[in-house]
C-alpha cells in the first residue's frame, strides 16, 4: 500500500506512452482557464476541443494526458515536483499544454490524483493506493480511485507501488486497461 502524499506539483514519468511514438501529441490550443485554472500540472487529463479552440474538461473527444516539456524558471527549484505550467510565468498568461493520446497497454508512473488543489509550498494528501486498484478520470481531469472496474470509459490500474524519479516522492506505476 502507498499513501500518495506529495509536496509540490504532480509528476509524470513516461515509462511507455504509445501516443508519443504514434505522434498523438497535441499542443496548439490554449487552456480554458475558466474551467481548468491558472496552474496546469503534469498528469492531469483534459480534452482537446478543436471546435471550441480550447483545451478544456467538457469538450467532445477522448481524455488526453497532460505531459509538458519541463521549463524551470527558478534555478532554486530544479526538480520535477517544482514544475507546472503557471499563467504567471507567461507574458500574456496564455497556457498551451501538450496533450498525449493514450491507448490500452500504456504505462506511466505518477503521483497526480484527484485531491485538493496543490501548490509548490503546500502538501497534498492523496489516496491510499494498492496494486490492483482501478482509477478513472474524474470531471476535474484528475485520476480518482473507483471501487470496482467501470464497464465503460478510460480505466487505469495500479500495477506497482513506486517512487517518483526524484527518489523522494511516493508514486505508483499505472497501466491503461480499458
For residue range 17-37, list pLDDT tens digits in order.
Answer: 999 999 999 999 999 999 999
| Domain encompassing residue 82 | 2-176
Rounded to an integer, the average pLDDT of 63-80 is 76
Q: How confident is the model at residue 78 (pLDDT cuts 50, 70, 90)?
A: low
Q: Which DSSP symbol is given to 35?
A: H
Average pLDDT of the residues of the chain: 89
Structural domains counted in the chain: 1
DSSP-derived secondary structure for 61-126: S--EEE-PPP--S-TT--SGGG--EEGGGSTT------EE---TT-EEEE---S-S---SSSEE--
Percent above pLDDT 70 for the chain: 87
pLDDT for position 91: 87
Residue 8 has pLDDT above 90, yes or no: no
Is residue 70 very low, low, confident or very high in pLDDT (cuts 50, 70, 90)?
confident
For residue range 113-165, list pLDDT tens digits in order. 886 555 555 666 677 899 999 999 999 999 999 999 999 999 999 999 988 88
Amino acid at each position: 500500500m502507498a499513501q500518495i502524499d506529495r509536496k509540490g506539483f504532480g509528476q509524470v514519468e513516461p515509462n511507455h506512452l504509445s501516443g508519443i511514438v504514434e505522434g498523438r501529441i497535441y499542443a496548439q490550443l490554449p487552456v480554458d482557464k475558466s474551467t481548468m485554472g491558472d496552474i496546469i500540472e503534469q498528469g492531469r487529463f483534459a480534452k482537446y476541443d478543436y471546435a471550441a479552440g480550447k483545451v478544456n474538461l467538457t469538450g467532445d473527444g477522448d481524455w488526453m494526458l497532460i505531459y509538458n516539456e519541463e521549463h524551470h524558471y527558478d534555478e532554486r527549484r530544479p526538480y520535477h515536483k517544482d514544475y507546472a505550467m503557471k499563467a504567471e510565468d507567461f507574458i500574456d498568461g496564455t497556457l498551451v499544454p501538450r496533450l498525449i493520446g493514450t491507448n490500452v497497454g500504456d504505462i506511466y508512473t505518477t503521483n497526480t490524483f484527484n485531491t485538493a488543489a496543490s501548490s509548490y509550498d503546500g502538501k497534498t494528501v492523496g489516496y491510499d493506493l494498492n496494486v490492483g486498484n482501478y482509477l478513472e478520470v474524474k470531471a476535474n481531469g484528475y485520476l480518482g480511485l473507483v471501487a470496482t472496474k467501470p464497464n465503460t470509459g478510460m480505466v487505469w490500474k495500479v500495477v506497482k507501488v513506486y517512487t517518483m524519479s526524484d527518489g523522494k516522492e511516493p508514486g505508483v506505476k499505472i497501466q491503461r486497461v480499458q
